[in-house]
Structure 1
């Protein structure tokens, strides 16, 4: 339902029909019938979900009819984070819950890439491929707990390979093929994989990238490999000479064409996959999440919060090196069809993915805040060019979405669409904050705290605050929290990562403000937040203010302490081609920050740079750059292998030398 804007910048309200048809409303009705629990509105439901966490998660188990070969003994044991166990005694399989949705002739996967035209896989085809790969893995001795790694893009073969691993209880881990040699080895070597699945190459931005020479180097660094499986993606017949123990994907499918898919039941906390921290200041940490924890969290988040339904087409632009790929895979748990795209989202222009949304008939279109803002700057107007009548919702994540991005969606994409911004992390492979189909959308705000996520904002006195910026913490455990970090035998690194500031309370590292309506605003990473004269400002607020200046393409700001009372705050900006950093432009930038943020957050100096250093997942390197400018040696401040553009560091290294 489209409504007129008010002073609160209310952009959209779900219609009564939209709410009544939502999975969330169905869950609330079910709770009334089966548990005698009556809730008038969402925030009452949320409060119960974090007060009675045993009752809530057992209800989720029953509502989604989790299949276990053994009944669980208790929902949660151990008490305090991180030393808790979930659904002890149960035995299940993630992939089995995916394929209980199979409808052989219906579409399970829709895909397109710069290499392949629009195509589809039915549930029957997906199951057959998964069965063939699973049978082959078992035939070469892969057992529950063994690691299988993939150096592959976001294509349907990757999806099938993951489901095959999950079906036999093997542990999955993936890197996108644009990751360089060091980044891949830093991740994969520590987990000692037995099988590597890889493409021969890929296409991005119209250019071809052969990867087989790099695969040979990766093989040499992974002595535990027993086999490498090659997916012909760039070429129909890739040159496999020089590769050790290499088998072609198509050969495996042919030899195992009659295989039947079976499911190895494993304990609830059996590892499902290994994700990785960004690794900006050292080797990436292997974050291990469980079959049961991810299963129950993704059912909750995707079906209740995101309202995915059987037959929906669910898309999120991602690579296999970002946890959103794992979330997309989870879409299959809901009975929805998942939609995959591999390629440069801005090639040949920023209309590409909107055209794809039309041709693939996408219902939920997920992307990043940076993509939406790139569309804003490029002047894209999708609703004038494409039929988006099937589009029900748009999701944004990766960084806070500025108000300008929210308003662009309603003005230039679709008036009656549910736009939800989310925030969570690789740490739980889900979102703590984000969508709720029962609530309105306010510009610049995330709708609500997710069910089961006991989030609070704490001020400097560790007091819970509303309508005030505070440190984001989680006070109760969630099933998809890491079961452990890889090779962290005593749990020291795990505890240091989340429980170093507040004992028994998960500190997430973001600054957040919860409104009196229950919505929230993310202000960026707390360790990069700028405190000037007692006024604390999230860097995202400054970046958001700069969005209104058309000459500025990107920006990075850091605050360098000089002594106990003074600091130096430079702003680094990337200008659009042909633009020079004039005194007039500097003055306009300063005035914009003064008016939209605070006079105390006007930068001390403004510098023009060619590019902002970013991780492979597109996040700005605020803290590592701050460390470099404070004199920390580069090798201790940042892991160059984790960067999408490592050469961008050279400017800041030289800047420090000359300062």
Structure 2
């Protein structure tokens, strides 16, 4: 592949039909210079924030009272007030239709399909909202979900936000302790729970866990149990979802709240301390998620959107917002590679999915299996693939365009829970360069600072945002503002410090080098871990890696943990190849002192490899919030005597 040329360019037809192009035309009267490319729109979004965000409200047709003022001081970060006179209802804006077309389609790995029309969705949301109010839920109260990715989770979230209460959720693959670490902090009044979920070919019974969680939350007024599709609840179950909604009115009178009225509490991964309870306002959440979907992903009405996600991940919130564009949301539960590695692509064809979100690890699985969806499937509807949760390597880009689809917009967004949005993302009207996140997100003044606090391009540093944006968290729950300020603003005054180590590229894109708290400090030299990972991309036998620093009597050294393709063992020859690749692709300072083969790496709740957990393990420290890891058993295997080390 020629790295001096883009790996993909949008066709003139795609560019002409992109929603971003229509938005540019709408904003053009407010701009003194032509808005004819992504770069010009991005510059406008920063230089004219009121015109940009106010214009976005109008373009999206948000329902509510916008008010006359968009932002009081866009340079004040933190502290800028957005749409201070506005009134809106989050749920009202996600329910723009009331017809018989599909709003939600549930699919799972067992082949089950269940559709919910827009009219049925409206009716269930109304009934659930009335039921919540009858249970004593008032604006500002918390309603929690311990649910798989089923339609009832969407209904409960919309009903909660419709009455001004705050929605929060834990994925059902969390352990009891991990859930309680989160839910005890926010004291929900109502808990929606489930009897189980499916994954990897079996039903995982959660009845006992659900009861244990409910019993440990003394402030609960109601526990509502959702039967997993295709299953039944025992006769002695306390209150079923159907019984909770039964007899309730199916119409709702929308109540409108201030722009910053709390709508969601999102939980951090919890691998570096007690999970943070991040409170997001309705207006900022709505604008950021719809901006991402409409402009960056180019979602149109009637199109079908599917994200591989759990209900406890911020990505689920973004996916749900596609309803606000009149799109159909496909809810998938289970393993995307069961009963076969091609199952996901069968689903793309069956449901005519236009926008699909997956994770880089799944691309690795497809590549290892020799899967070629472009030969085995139509994929005619598929126009955009997002691959998020961890950096997407050049090797991933090459595989997607070679073996999945040649004309598809591949994007690798970076942002997350803290901002209910992205800092860098995709553009449907711009070229894609392998190994880079395509563009900086509209309305987000993203910079990279070196150690002296100066903005730099082409070298790694702290990823920051230096201008106010509407989705700055409203608060941390039960915080006077000091913890929020310390988390994001204390280290670099006047800037949002995101916690990533990153590098701006000559093409105007971004490369994530790793988390700042996982950046290696080897005898005084800071090293981004992704520089090591990129150097390994040409080694087909290495599927994943994690580099951590290890202090010793002679100073700090690097230990590299590697996962190899199935059936391979780390030999002296391969270890030498790994070190040579790192020396060539990075520097001699990046070369690990030890290379350790493992069969898996510990991951946080959003699927990212937790270098911090590995570092704690090597230092002999207890892993903080081990239960917050998706696979804590991977840490146990790090200590196994069978590991191969070179």
Per the shorter chain, which TM-score range? over 0.9
Q: Which runs of 5+ in 2 are unaligned?
A: none
Corresponding residue for residue 515 of structure 1: 505
1:205 to 181, 200, 208: 200
Contact 1:167 1:262 (C-alpha < 8 Å) held by counterparts:
no
1:415 to 403, 406, 412: 406
Cα-to-partner distance string for 1:533-568 (whole Å, 9 max, x where unaligned)? 7875432232344344344343221123447x8312
Structure 2: distance between partners of 1:214 and 1:33: 57
Q: Which runs of 5+ in 1 are unaligned?
A: none
Change (3 A) 1:464 1:607: same
**What SS is found at the alignment partner of 1:387?**
coil
Structure 2: distance between partners of 1:150 and 1:571: 38
Q: Which deviates more from structure 2 when the two are superposed, residues 354-363 or residues 110-119?
A: 110-119
Change (3 A) 1:543 1:383: same
- Structure 1 residue 221: Cα displacement: 0.9
Do structure 1's residue 630 and structure 2's residue 619 form an aligned pair?
yes
Corresponding residue for residue 288 of structure 2: 297
Structure 1: distance between partners of 2:614 and 2:366: 27
Contact 1:203 1:234 (C-alpha < 8 Å) held by counterparts:
no
1:275 to 247, 260, 266: 266
Change (3 A) 1:581 1:467: closer
Cα-to-partner distance string for 1:624-656 (whole Å, 9 max, x where unaligned)? 32244335x31xx5211111122332355789x
Contact 2:364 2:543 (C-alpha < 8 Å) held by counterparts:
no
Q: Which deviates more from structure 2 when the two are superposed, residues 194-203 or residues 525-534?
A: 525-534
1:306 to 289, 297, 307: 297
CA RMSD of aligned residues (A): 2.2
Q: Which deviates more from structure 2 when the two are superposed, residues 606-615 or residues 573-582?
A: 573-582
Contact 1:533 1:600 (C-alpha < 8 Å) held by counterparts:
no
Corresponding residue for residue 98 of structure 1: 94
- Structure 1 residue 401: Cα displacement: 0.4
1:506 to 496, 502, 506: 496
**What SS is found at the alignment partner of 1:10?**
coil
**What SS is found at the alignment partner of 2:83?**
strand
Change (3 A) 1:197 1:509: same
Change (3 A) 1:535 1:568: closer
Equivalent runs, 1:633-652 vs 2, <5 Å: 633-634=621-622, 637-651=623-637
Do structure 1's residue 247 and structure 2's residue 233 form an aligned pair?
no
**What SS is found at the alignment partner of 2:94?**
helix
Contact 2:461 2:502 (C-alpha < 8 Å) held by counterparts:
yes
Equivalent runs, 1:349-428 vs 2, <5 Å: 349-428=340-419
Corresponding residue for residue 339 of structure 1: 330
Contact 1:143 1:169 (C-alpha < 8 Å) held by counterparts:
yes
Q: Which deviates more from structure 2 when the two are superposed, residues 33-42 or residues 414-423?
A: 33-42
Structure 2: distance between partners of 1:374 and 1:277: 27
**What SS is found at the alignment partner of 2:192?**
strand
Q: Which deviates more from structure 2 when the two are superposed, residues 510-519 or residues 531-540?
A: 531-540
Do structure 1's residue 554 and structure 2's residue 549 form an aligned pair?
no
Contact 1:271 1:290 (C-alpha < 8 Å) held by counterparts:
yes
1:18 to 14, 31, 37: 14
Structure 2: distance between partners of 1:93 and 1:167: 6
Cα-to-partner distance string for 1:122-173 (whole Å, 9 max, x where unaligned)? 1111111111211211222211111110000111111111111111111100
Contact 2:360 2:388 (C-alpha < 8 Å) held by counterparts:
yes
Contact 2:98 2:122 (C-alpha < 8 Å) held by counterparts:
no
1:54 to 50, 53, 59: 50
Do structure 1's residue 110 and structure 2's residue 105 form an aligned pair?
yes
Contact 2:30 2:51 (C-alpha < 8 Å) held by counterparts:
no
**What SS is found at the alignment partner of 2:601?**
coil
Change (3 A) 1:37 1:62: farther
Structure 2: distance between partners of 1:386 and 1:237: 35
**What SS is found at the alignment partner of 1:516?**
coil
1:589 to 578, 583, 589: 578
Structure 2: distance between partners of 1:613 and 1:240: 40
Structure 2: distance between partners of 1:598 and 1:9: 25
Q: Which deviates more from structure 2 when the two are superposed, residues 319-328 or residues 639-648?
A: 639-648
- Structure 1 residue 390: Cα displacement: 0.8
Cα-to-partner distance string for 1:567-625 (whole Å, 9 max, x where unaligned)? 12111223444433322222222222222232221210112234211112211121232
Give the number of aligned pairs.
642
Structure 2: distance between partners of 1:550 and 1:104: 50
Corresponding residue for residue 154 of structure 1: 149
Contact 1:423 1:431 (C-alpha < 8 Å) held by counterparts:
yes
- Structure 1 residue 234: Cα displacement: 5.9
2:37 to 38, 41, 48: 41
Do structure 1's residue 263 and structure 2's residue 254 form an aligned pair?
yes
- Structure 1 residue 82: Cα displacement: 2.1
Give the TM-score, by structure 2 length: 0.95
Contact 2:150 2:333 (C-alpha < 8 Å) held by counterparts:
yes
Structure 1: distance between partners of 2:504 and 2:271: 29
Corresponding residue for residue 122 of structure 1: 117
**What SS is found at the alignment partner of 1:99?**
coil
